[in-house]
Chain A
């Protein structure tokens, strides 16, 4: 067990924007909620999955709804208590700890606020190891855990608990209620036992986020390494390309931010071309016509000077970026994992081949 204070929150937020793999949104408002809660209630206890008893109840916390609304209304602060109460009552057993459902973007921050306000520990674990766009895309689905019973509340105190027959129903019903409640709500879902969390969760992901954030901040402080090498070493990333954005082609399709970005090589990639496609998160990186990485591996674009992650909303002509591939959590590479998040599910017409094998085939 260790403490998560204000400094750690800063690093985790920065790391989370990298693990967002282009998506997950700007964690800024989430970070303010975490800071607000810690300043009021004190630092949060981060516990390792091994410290959790097998029969303990663990509850992932997330927000649902429109980011624009979240940026006006924030949260009230009492939502976590409401969710805790209805879940504990429903299960007839108290929730032992909270955890993030996804490590990328704004949802990486809310469980910190929840833990601080509830006085509960947060488990160093999540269900993605990155960000994904759909509700069922969590490792817990592989383990047969249902999204429901799912508790939902708004800041006014309205609350509901859902029991649904499929995750699609969960999504549909919850969206309708979210709109009626004012467009942004807090949810507790995929509630599970300590044993299930240990079997299927992505362990030590909060610590990894924090380490990544700290590494990005200090890439220039390592005398024996170039900043780029320092970044690659700390992130265990594969350098896929370095280039300048020469075009961003976007399509709008409902809730998703779809498109692809065209890159022209700079530095030792001069004369080469690359293309990265995205649907909220980055899906595939193609260098000189050859696929070098696909989802579920993480494809991250970072600024070549500051190494801060560039989200798909912020892509624009002229930006110089380093394209980096990070290995996804092993469970996503199993047949059951790929059923949920294989490249074809996202419209990328190829089999999944692990990043490190694709890279080996090329001349990097």
Chain B
């Protein structure tokens, strides 16, 4: 039995095959093509060929892709959406999409703000105006195939969202695509509503993506495999789930890379530095999962409240151009020769001094023809390396939570340009197969179960309630395909409904385990 992991990035499509012992059998990199599937197909073909693995023996395939992110950023292939906000007479002071860039506002065909929603204590803010919703849905019939629904405090009670979703199916038919905010975002109505609209607009991209991937697998003779998509929290979702919540694939690339690096080096807590050709991403792995950022994530100019991995990106990579300014100062990047490194860097016979040439000149790496870099002045090379060191050390420091030294894992094709004795670090790991950490992260991803419920601690004591919730989450993870012995609780959250009669809390538990 083998797993096939694929990661579609902006520059490369990576594919890896790992065996039952979770060892890497083969890895390939293929340039990402305009038609994404062509790149995926080529990568699959190559990796199968190199590994010599029988196609029938591939039982699981995992895909991590930037297609949904790209669709939003490039405003391409987005579907028209009808939006119902439930919350009047509150919220009307901030109309939907009020601070969106104009070109993406067009995804919303029309919206309505109806009466309904809840107060912070779970009390009804206003009775739900189903008639207004019905009139709007009748109007949207034939105009849109996707409806977004967002209600005030739906993170505390989503009854009104569910009622309108039901009404929506009645009026527009079972085939209508519905996105409800309580399943997508957290507190903060505007950010949650924004994410829900984007999710609704992605339904066609999600359809094409899932169908296209399934089709390319069948074409390649991989017909015995279960198919999964990577989510930004480092777990997998089924194709069915991905069709409903495509927005959850946003930013899964950095997450996969961080998890892959952790897996390859067998280190559970560290700072991961992924050095590409043009940029370096730095993130933090905590107990095998990426640390989440506390800052609101902006996707294509739209503010959402997704929990994204806490990533710092800097303009430093293997292809970064190294120069000396008129004032004598040495600079590295942010511009890069990018994928043209194999023809433009000195060591490959080119004319541009890149960070890679500096590393070769200083004997830190052997690549291309080292004698071609011998002409670089040694003092200049050392000063350039100091610049690189400072850039990275400063980032490491800003990701740390205290003054203590941390472990660092270096991955990515460009990581040869970094010195190994970085300040503030305890141990620097250079795992094997570091070039394909993304695809590996995708292949070793876990499946999760999320359980969420309002529980009155006066009726069920907290300890008992949390225990029950954990059991439910574990069960959901097992139902999703996790091996029972591997399931672990990765997140427990209980938020009291403040100033509420009784002692009601919103309990949320997330469990994750390995796929069989």
Complex Cα–Cα for A78 and B120 (A): 21
Complex Cα–Cα for A182 and B156 (A): 14
Given contacts A32-B99, A317-B401, A318-B400, contact A76 B91 (CB under 8 A): yes
Q: Select one of A68, A73, A156 contacting B152, CB under 8 A.
A: A73
Report whether A72 and B99 are in contact in the complex, using a CB–CB cutoff of 8 Å: no
Complex Cα–Cα for A157 and B187 (A): 24
Report whether B94 and A68 are in contact in the complex, using a CB–CB cutoff of 8 Å: no
Partner-binding segment picked from A35-43, A85-93, A135-143: A35-43
- Secondary structure dominating the interface of B: loop
Would you call B129 an interface residue if the criterion is a C-beta within 8 Å of the partner chain's C-beta atoms?
Answer: no
Which A residues from 64 to 79 make CB contacts under 8 A with B?
A: 66, 68-69, 71-79
Q: Select one of B89, B189, B399 contacting A155, CB under 8 A.
A: B89
Q: Which residues of A contact B402 (CB under 8 A)?
A: 247, 317
| A2–chain B nearest beta-carbon distance, Å | 23
Would you call A29 an interface residue if the criterion is a C-beta within 8 Å of the partner chain's C-beta atoms?
Answer: yes
Would you call B93 an interface residue if the criterion is a C-beta within 8 Å of the partner chain's C-beta atoms?
Answer: yes
Would you call A249 an interface residue if the criterion is a C-beta within 8 Å of the partner chain's C-beta atoms?
Answer: no
Q: Which residues of B contact A37 (CB under 8 A)?
A: 93
Given contacts A72-B188, A76-B88, A244-B397, contact A40 B120 (CB under 8 A): no
Q: Which residues of A contact B123 (CB under 8 A)?
A: 182
Which B residues from 65 to 103 make CB contacts under 8 A with A?
A: 87-95, 98-99
Q: Select one of A113, A182, A316 contacting B125, CB under 8 A.
A: A182
| A156–chain B nearest beta-carbon distance, Å | 6
Would you call B153 an interface residue if the criterion is a C-beta within 8 Å of the partner chain's C-beta atoms?
Answer: yes
Complex Cα–Cα for A68 and B191 (A): 13
Would you call A319 an interface residue if the criterion is a C-beta within 8 Å of the partner chain's C-beta atoms?
Answer: yes
Would you call A179 an interface residue if the criterion is a C-beta within 8 Å of the partner chain's C-beta atoms?
Answer: yes
Report whether B125 and A75 are in contact in the complex, using a CB–CB cutoff of 8 Å: no
Report whether A179 and B499 are in contact in the complex, using a CB–CB cutoff of 8 Å: yes
| B305–chain A nearest beta-carbon distance, Å | 9
Would you call B452 an interface residue if the criterion is a C-beta within 8 Å of the partner chain's C-beta atoms?
Answer: no
Q: Select one of A33, A69, A79, A319 contacting B94, CB under 8 A.
A: A33
Report whether B403 and A77 are in contact in the complex, using a CB–CB cutoff of 8 Å: no
How many A-B Cβ pairs are below 8 Å? 97
Interface residues on A, range: 35 or more
Q: Which residues of B contact A319 (CB under 8 A)?
A: 398
Instruction: Closest B residue to A313 by CB, please name it.
Output: B294
Would you call B450 an interface residue if the criterion is a C-beta within 8 Å of the partner chain's C-beta atoms?
Answer: no
Report whether B87 and A73 are in contact in the complex, using a CB–CB cutoff of 8 Å: yes
Report whether B120 and A69 are in contact in the complex, using a CB–CB cutoff of 8 Å: yes
Instruction: Closest B residue to A65 by CB, please name it.
Output: B120
Q: Which residues of B contact A73 (CB under 8 A)?
A: 87, 90-91, 125, 152-153, 189
Contact mask for chain A residues 201-223; partner B; CB cutoff 8 A; 1 contact, 0 none: 00000000000000000000000
Complex Cα–Cα for A32 and B189 (A): 12
Q: Select one of B188, B190, B397 contacting A318, CB under 8 A.
A: B397
Q: Which residues of B contact A179 (CB under 8 A)?
A: 499
Report whether A75 and B93 are in contact in the complex, using a CB–CB cutoff of 8 Å: yes
Report whether A40 and B87 are in contact in the complex, using a CB–CB cutoff of 8 Å: no
| A250–chain B nearest beta-carbon distance, Å | 13
Would you call B46 an interface residue if the criterion is a C-beta within 8 Å of the partner chain's C-beta atoms?
Answer: no
Complex Cα–Cα for A320 and B397 (A): 10
Residue count of chain B within 8 Å CB distance of chain A: 30
| B285–chain A nearest beta-carbon distance, Å | 17
Given contacts A29-B94, A40-B95, contact A318 B398 (CB under 8 A): yes
Instruction: Closest A residue to B88 by CB, please name it.
Output: A76
Would you call B471 an interface residue if the criterion is a C-beta within 8 Å of the partner chain's C-beta atoms?
Answer: no
Q: Select one of B87, B98, B119, B398 contacting A32, CB under 8 A.
A: B98
Contact mask for chain B residues 153-165; partner A; CB cutoff 8 A; 1 contact, 0 none: 1000000000000
Q: Which residues of A contact B153 (CB under 8 A)?
A: 72-73
Report whether A113 and B93 are in contact in the complex, using a CB–CB cutoff of 8 Å: yes
Report whether A29 and B90 are in contact in the complex, using a CB–CB cutoff of 8 Å: no
Report whether A74 and B94 are in contact in the complex, using a CB–CB cutoff of 8 Å: yes
Would you call B126 an interface residue if the criterion is a C-beta within 8 Å of the partner chain's C-beta atoms?
Answer: yes
Report whether A183 and B120 are in contact in the complex, using a CB–CB cutoff of 8 Å: yes
Would you call A173 an interface residue if the criterion is a C-beta within 8 Å of the partner chain's C-beta atoms?
Answer: no
Interface residues of A (CB under 8 A from B): 29, 31-33, 35-37, 39-40, 66, 68-69, 71-79, 113, 155-157, 179, 182-183, 244, 246-247, 316-320
- List the 4 closest pairs (A to B, CB-CB), nearest first: A75-B93, A318-B398, A77-B93, A73-B90
18 contacts between A and B (CB under 8 A): A32-B99, A32-B190, A33-B94, A71-B189, A72-B153, A72-B188, A72-B189, A73-B152, A74-B93, A76-B88, A76-B89, A76-B93, A78-B92, A156-B90, A157-B89, A183-B120, A183-B499, A246-B403
13 new A-B contacts at CB < 8 Å, known A155-B89, A182-B120:
A32-B99, A39-B95, A72-B152, A72-B188, A74-B93, A77-B92, A77-B93, A155-B91, A156-B125, A182-B90, A183-B499, A317-B400, A320-B398
